[in-house]
Structure 1
């Protein structure tokens, strides 16, 4: 389905030596050093020789953030502070440039694309990609959320979108989401994949009351019982518990890794998609950079289970890809110091070893 190449580390010793020879104590730039190592390794996969690598300058090229929108039938179960109509209203807001993600992308240098994966009320705009799998999923606590065929169609849509970005020269992508009810879907995915009780996975989402949290827990528990036989396979799990936007994000992560792109993972929803993507093809994890730990209850546990350390901790719970967007200056700083910071020899500074 997705032919993702394992990342070769043939230049790892050169990368490490270059970072260690910069005018700083060893390891003094912390996670930026790890981020630089990962980015340089990803971007240098087509460099054929050590001599060519030493002349190679890694850059973030046309970083692009795609916001995938989809509506969830489970929203009608009273698990959110807003009705499904708000999904379409927010897509209109994205198109008009009024959302937080628009501001962050414009300010920081992301190209922004909006994708309708299946919202209740389509937004008539040439700037919205039409990847609709339907108008809304089925309630996950009473039915399969979607069909297996819809999952595969979503993967194909995502693959085509990512391929178009790659052909335009993009080498760094991030994904955001919009979909009323999607924290319930993500919590159900988390519980099913990690074999955890619903109450450890369900949080307040965008800020619901304790009563609604209890309702969300009950809905997720119903879904886990109903679809228990579907959880051994990640595709059927997605069909049972996912959202149209979550399907596209999962497929886009796999497709981006297949194209050799760096993939910046946003918060709770996107991390749920990442867990599924890793289950489908574990090699995808080598391409993933986790942007932040959100304020959603289960997200820290997700990250710990994946054994990854996010770049930011800002208590965000907005979605839209906002945390991924805010990580871009750190990615730029990582490659900035790698490419431009002087070595001890260049600067005539006595080497500091610790």
Structure 2
């Protein structure tokens, strides 16, 4: 808990005083004012986050965290649990969707075992932060202990702290865990107060019958565990997942070090809710890369006041949307730092 408390103390407000001078520079570039829309907004936000007038985005990482979930016993997923470790090995071999998109945008993928239900073969590229062999079935009791919830968050903090040694300019969050849309829906319902049916989707593609099972399982889990909405750790412990806690830790540590964080889809959104509950200032360091087709994602983003960059009907996870978002952020920063001003280019400005 000491590590978590120390990192939360370190989180300061973004440097909003840099917004005005950044806007003035953007307005003086060789284009009509505001004509590059969200690219300009992104550039300004990243300046305020980093505290640098001309930030660079050179060192890009996607942190993909894996964990299993006891609630799969309730028939909430279309895929068996053994897919989780199989996909972790796929990440490590460079063959998954996130690997392809990370290569496309020039980012490294950092793979973390937060709680896969089995032993993974040790590999140099695999970070082992396993809290336990998957969570317990939240329908019958808490998914994890409070101590395990804190451990998962602090593990995420440790991953970022280790990566800082290599230099990090921007971070994307990603996930892998069969069944993890179920705890994510439970977290969203618990924190936002939204109806379970409205925040529960089909995940990996379950049919109508299994969707009903999934909704009932989440409703039962909330009834049995009674998570306290005002306590992010309590919500995580009772109905969350180890990879969700890990991503919340990544977000907290990134904010503490003034690093912009691109959150991916629904599971990353649930982790963001936990992080924001723990320290509300984190919200201003988060950038929503896209809006997932998962039913609860838009509710999650609206609750935090975040506007997604993309709406591409994505629902893969892994950090795929975050990778695309990072490429857009880099474009925005390049506009700010490389585009000529009217004076530099000898171009006449608009007639007053």
* TM-score bracket for this pair, using the shorter chain length: over 0.9
Describe how 1:6-155 pairs up with structure 2 within 5 A.
6-44=13-51, 53=53, 57-124=54-121, 125-155=123-153
In structure 2, the residue corresponding to 1:231 is in which secondary structure? coil
- Offset of residue 61 of structure 1: 3.0
Q: TM-score, normalised by structure 2?
A: 0.95
Is the Cα contact below 8 Å between 2:15 and 2:51 reproduced in 1? no
- Offset of residue 159 of structure 1: 1.4
Is the Cα contact below 8 Å between 1:76 and 1:83 reproduced in 2? no
Match of 1:156 in 2: 154
Matched, 1:248 2:255: no
In structure 1, the residue corresponding to 2:292 is in which secondary structure? coil
Structure 1: 5+ residue runs without aligned partners? 46-52
Is the Cα contact below 8 Å between 1:116 and 1:122 reproduced in 2? no
Describe how 1:1-354 pairs up with structure 2 within 5 A.
1=5, 2-3=8-9, 4-44=11-51, 53=53, 57-124=54-121, 125-228=123-226, 230-352=228-350
In structure 1, the residue corresponding to 2:17 is in which secondary structure? coil
Is the Cα contact below 8 Å between 2:138 and 2:221 reproduced in 1? yes
Is the Cα contact below 8 Å between 2:264 and 2:289 reproduced in 1? yes
- Offset of residue 170 of structure 1: 0.6
- Offset of residue 353 of structure 1: 7.2
In the TM superposition, structure 1's runs of 4+ consecutive aligned residues that sit over 3 Å from their partners are: 229-232
Q: TM-score, normalised by structure 1?
A: 0.94
Compared with structure 1, are the counterparts of its residues 105 and 226 closer, same or farther at alpha carbon in structure 2 (3 Å cutoff)?
same
In structure 2, how many angstroms separate the alpha carbons of the residues matched to 1:153 and 1:302?
24
In structure 1, the residue corresponding to 2:161 is in which secondary structure? helix
Is the Cα contact below 8 Å between 2:19 and 2:47 reproduced in 1? no
Superimposed CA distance per residue, residues 296-338 of structure 1 (whole angstroms, 9 cap, x where no aligned partner):
1111122222222111110001010110011222111101110
In structure 1, how many angstroms separate the alpha carbons of the residues matched to 2:303 and 2:120?
38
- Offset of residue 166 of structure 1: 1.6
Residue correspondences, number: 344
In structure 1, the residue corresponding to 2:16 is in which secondary structure? coil
Is the Cα contact below 8 Å between 2:14 and 2:51 reproduced in 1? no
In structure 2, how many angstroms separate the alpha carbons of the residues matched to 1:200 and 1:303?
14
Over aligned residue pairs, what C-alpha RMSD do you find?
Answer: 1.4
Superimposed CA distance per residue, residues 68-127 of structure 1 (whole angstroms, 9 cap, x where no aligned partner):
000000011100001111101110111111111111111210111100001012221221
